[in-house]
Amino acid sequence: MTKEYRKNVHLTFPPTISGSPVICDLTKMFDLSFNILKAQITPRKEGHMTVEIMGTKENYQKGIEYLEKNRIVVTPVTQRISRDEDSCMHCGMCTAICPNGSLFVDREKRIVVFDIDRCTACGMCVRVCPVNAMHVDAENGMI
Amino acid sequence: MAHTKVNKTIAEINERIRSGKAVVLNAEEMTEAVRTMGKEKAAKEVDVVTTGTFSPMCSSGLLFNIGQKEPPTIKTSKVTLNGVPAYAGLAAVDGYLGATEPREDDPLNKVYPGQFKYGGGNVIEDLVAGRTVSLRAEAYGTDCYPRKSYEKEITLADLPHAELFNPRNCYQNYNAAVNLTSRIVYTYMGPLKPNMRNVNFATAGCLSPLFNDPLFKTIGLGTRIFLGGGIGYVIGAGTQHVPNPKRNERGIPLSPAGTLELKGDLKQMEARYLRGLSFIGYGNTMSVGVGIPIPVLNEEIAWYTGVADSDIEMPVKDYGHDYPNGLPRVLQHCTYEELKSGEVEIMGKKVETVPMTSYPISLEIADKLKEWIQKGEFLLSEPVEKIPAW
């Protein structure tokens, strides 16, 4: 099986589900691999997890359906982070701190490329960007 | 000076600019031109080389006058712009706002690392962008200046005089920074990860003004330049100028060396080329866009402007322990060509490189200056005093 499909998603677990082992079902039932990038349970027992899921596209979709059936809200990470293109001056400082290389310098064009598909919305770039060009939607307080 | 085969004067070059015949190349194109056609032919064919840089330059600021528009008159002793304190110990309504001044109520590094969201550089950017800025002034009151406080929302247009006045810009070569300690450090060279996991560097390489005229043969007091999107002038050597560093065979210093003091009318400038910056854990500063034209007077100048990224050797220093303790140790030198490749080897370890200078905007500045000269809108000036360098 080729695992060519990979995606970073943000999962929100309602308090009734956050204590159950749901994520490992992705592997058991759908042959998907996962890489937990960040996980937190709030004092109100709501769970938040940023996870990279890898597998075939078909299995990925089945897995997501399974999660949603279990009342887990699935949000693509790419919707949670943005760059103000007018403000970014392509200095490159963010590339030092980006943990997985989703911000990197294109050596030919010498511009900073933002690969949103790889981004895990960790928010490090938001803290570091000297001109405040990176923005993370902080609605669930998960920066 | 050695005898040269090509000899042009600035007056002759200006004549060619006026008649639209001047050949102008940006410094990147000139590197290629000198490499392919040689210095003598390049000197014959090219009249002006335009350079450009857009880097954090902490020693920058705004010299301003707020006027006496609403009597009674005032002699300001404490002035803030959007809450950022300015120096008011000048004549009655003159002030100076430094780019690195944080806002009065900024928590600084009390919660480490501090965010420094707004400072002097941001005020300057806001003014240039045409945004309203809140001016507050206090005074002790005198017979001739009785007013004791003044508050007003102002824009750049309300200031009778606003001049970018930068005591030190355009550093000729600079340290590349690493961190040899085991914890992250937040510096004016940006965040440095522990155990030398990144090396940060700041220069526009072959585009950088003072690499193209390393011995200040054409740049001097009175040189007309591109400054922040408008026209400015070199007004001498900047603070910390080192005239006699160790140099390589191209005259390029092997350590931070020459600097320039610059000024220009803020009202002509553009916010794109003057950006207020917040450096996490360090403070506020400002990126300043500077472009300097170099007249190709002879083949010697042509040769200097032919500088390539591989000729520029930058000293690598440890900012975790050595720099804060004033230790002069240079770990090694890396060329700008190596640094821009994305990875360099330092002390046997492969280290990711991180630029702090915007190369695309540096190039844009060199090209904009080139366009001004080609259109005949910008003439070169004859420096009236030399800047010492040997």
Position B1 scores a pLDDT of: 52
Residue in B53, B125, B343, B354 to test binding to A, most A beta-carbons within 10 Å: B354
CA distances to B64, B72, B76, B77, B150 from B141, rounded to whole Å, are 21, 10, 9, 9, 12
CATH number corresponding to A79-138: 3.30.70.20
- Domain boundaries in chain A? 5-76, 79-138
Closest CB from A95, A111, A132 relative to B278: A132
Q: Quote ipTM for the complex.
A: 0.91
Task: Spell out, as residue ranges, where chain B has pLDDT lower than 50.
Answer: none
The answer on B113 and B32 residing in a single domain is: no
Position A7 scores a pLDDT of: 85
Give the residue from chain A lying closest to B351, CA to CA.
Answer: A96
- Give the N- to C-terminal CA distance of chain A in Å, as an integer: 35
A42/B contact by beta carbon, under 8 A: no
Position B2 scores a pLDDT of: 61
Position B297 scores a pLDDT of: 98
A93/B contact by beta carbon, under 8 A: yes
Task: Report how many domains make up chain B.
Answer: 2
Contact criterion met (CB < 8 Å) for A89 and B358: yes
Q: Which ranges of chain B would DSSP assign to H, the alpha helix?
A: 10-18, 27-45, 120-128, 209-212, 299-305, 336-340, 359-374
Beta bridge partners of A8: A52
The answer on B185 and B269 residing in a single domain is: yes
Contact criterion met (CB < 8 Å) for B287 and A128: no
Domain that includes residue B124, residue range: 67-159
A90/B contact by beta carbon, under 8 A: yes
Joined together, the tokens standing for residue B331 give 């770990």
Distance CA A12, CA A40 (A): 10
For B129, the 3-state DSSP assignment is coil
Joined together, the tokens standing for residue B160 give 């009778």
- Estimate to the nearest angstrom the gap between the alpha carbon of B294 and the chain centroid: 16
Contact B119, B284 (CB under 8 A): yes
The answer on B189 and B116 residing in a single domain is: no
Residues in chain B with CB shorter than 8 Å from the CB of A130 are 56, 277-279, 285, 287
Say what the pTM is.
0.91
The answer on B153 and B112 residing in a single domain is: yes
Distance CA A91, CA A94 (A): 8
Contact criterion met (CB < 8 Å) for B358 and A107: no
pLDDT tens digits for B16-40? 999 999 999 999 999 999 999 999 9
Position B213 scores a pLDDT of: 98
Residue in A90, A91, A107 to test binding to B, most B beta-carbons within 10 Å: A91
Distance CA B7, CA B27 (A): 20
pLDDT tens digits for A83-137? 999 999 999 999 999 988 899 999 999 999 998 888 888 889 999 999 999 998 7
> CB neighbours of B232 closer than 8 A, spacing ≥ 6?
B164, B224, B225, B226, B262, B263, B264, B265, B290
- Estimate to the nearest angstrom the gap between the alpha carbon of B172 and the chain centroid: 10
Give the torsion through C-alpha atoms of B329, B334, B340, B341, to 10 deg: -120
The answer on B289 and B229 residing in a single domain is: yes
Position B229 scores a pLDDT of: 98
Q: Which B-chain residues 101-120 have CB contacts (< 8 A) with chain A?
A: 115, 117
Contact B266, B342 (CB under 8 A): no
A28/B contact by beta carbon, under 8 A: no
pLDDT tens digits for A44-97? 999 999 898 999 999 999 999 999 999 999 988 766 788 999 999 999 999 999
Closest CB from A91, A130, A131 relative to B355: A91
The CATH class that applies to domain A5-76 reads alpha beta
B357/A contact by beta carbon, under 8 A: yes
Distance CA B43, CA B261 (A): 28
Among B111, B128, B159, identify where a domain stops: B159
Q: Does residue B144 have an active-site annotation? A: yes
The answer on B38 and B124 residing in a single domain is: no
